[in-house]
Amino acid sequence: MRGGRLRKLFGFVGWRLGLVVLAALGFFGIFAEWITADMPIFLQYDGRSYILPALTHQAPFGDGMRSDEILASLGPGDRAIWPLFRWGPLTETTTRMAGASSDHPLGTDAFGRDVLARLVYATRASLALGAATALAAVTLGFVLGCFSGALGGVFQGLIERLVEIVSVFPAVVAIALVRALEQRPSMASLVVVVTAVQGATMARLTHVLVIRTLAEDFAVGAKAMGASPLGIAFRHVTPHLVGPLAVATVFAMASTVLIETSLTFLDLGIPAKLASWGEMLGEVRWGAGPWIVLPPLLALCLTIGALYVMADALRRSFE
């Protein structure tokens, strides 16, 4: 009895703690331009107004201008509202490998870029890519798994062979092959490959769950009344798959974040012009110190830990 109460308490606290951690990280990612940017939040210049020019790319200034240069170009009638810190993730300075200071709270990297700015924008990139890829993978896997489990026969064989072929190649090898064929590595190819790898796992899970659920009495009764196996799978079996697929989606997001970080660390993931945790960790090649490596490592550990705690809590709630 006491063990059951402790497990329920752990699930209750763990689910909320993981949600709070993800919400905090998501807040920094969503409001990155309000926290640190080399462009103002609001700019009134030459009689025109610009809101979040760093996000809308409608600023009257050229790319690469630092905040001090923008501030020096403002006239008497111009005004600007700045974020908390006036550094963008790509803004390079002459101060390289510097420690923490009032201008750079987490120091600068090997290229003179502000570590805090890169950490905030890297959080957005990693969480957005993880969530988008996980949702795409579960959708793809759900559709393929339902068709495979409901129709069977030749169609099942084709989908199973396709899933097996995709599963043979680890994400690192698959991305390396795609990068070798691409002239310009892009974010789209990364999303497609990781979605295919994760979707294969989802399809195999959905296939097993559909076959198991179609053997239940309600599914057998629906089939006896003339319902098609595919209709039963999508209409009647789907509610029974919500729990397992929700847990699998959270695990897929955690796996995607780890895959993206690993690939970017190997210079195979997110393009270099975008900040990411893997790219920040990869700066150990240039002699990066702990003030550069520890922040993205801590953010990665918090994200993965929060996702796994939430997945375990979801699994317990559906038991």
What is the CATH number for 139?
1.10.3720.10
63 shares its domain with 161 = no
In a domain, 257, yes or no: yes
Condensed to tens digits (0 to 9), the pLDDT of residues 142-172 reads: 888 888 877 777 777 777 777 777 777 777 7
Q: What is the mean pLDDT of the chain?
A: 81
In a domain, 200, yes or no: yes
113, pLDDT greater than 50: yes
139 shares its domain with 228 = yes
Sequence-ordered strand ranges (E) for the chain: 42-45, 48-51, 79-81
What 131-135 contacts at long range (C-beta under 8 Å, 24+ apart), as own/partner pairs, is 131/253, 132/191, 133/191, 133/194, 133/195, 133/198, 133/252, 133/253, 133/256, 134/198, 134/249, 134/250, 134/252, 134/253, 134/256, 135/249
In a domain, 258, yes or no: yes
51 shares its domain with 162 = no
304, pLDDT greater than 80: yes
In a domain, 60, yes or no: yes
* DSSP-derived secondary structure letter, 286: G
Supply the pTM of this predicted model. 0.83
Structural domain harbouring 176: 115-317
In a domain, 3, yes or no: no
123 shares its domain with 166 = yes
1 pLDDT tier (thresholds 50, 70, 90) = very low
* Distances, alpha carbon 220 to alpha carbons 145, 151, 152, 223, in Å: 19, 15, 16, 5
119 shares its domain with 174 = yes
47 shares its domain with 152 = no
Q: What is the reported pLDDT for 64? A: 65
Percent pLDDT > 70 in the chain is 92
In a domain, 296, yes or no: yes
Give yes or no for a contact between 225 and 232, defined as CB atoms under 8 angstroms apart: no
217, pLDDT greater than 70: yes
Residue 230, both tokens: 């595919």
Last residue of a domain, one of 27, 59, 81: 81
75 shares its domain with 119 = no
61 shares its domain with 200 = no
77 shares its domain with 119 = no
In a domain, 254, yes or no: yes
In a domain, 98, yes or no: no
93's torsion region: left (phi>0), alpha (psi -120 to 50) or beta? beta
Q: What is the reported pLDDT for 317? A: 72
Over range 94-112, report the average pLDDT.
84
158 shares its domain with 63 = no
71 shares its domain with 125 = no
140, pLDDT greater than 80: yes
Question: Tokens 């799978």 map to which residue?
Answer: 233
254, pLDDT greater than 80: yes
45, pLDDT greater than 50: yes
182 shares its domain with 300 = yes
319, pLDDT greater than 60: yes
Over range 9-17, report the average pLDDT.
65
Percent pLDDT > 90 in the chain is 7
Q: How many domains are there within the chain?
A: 2
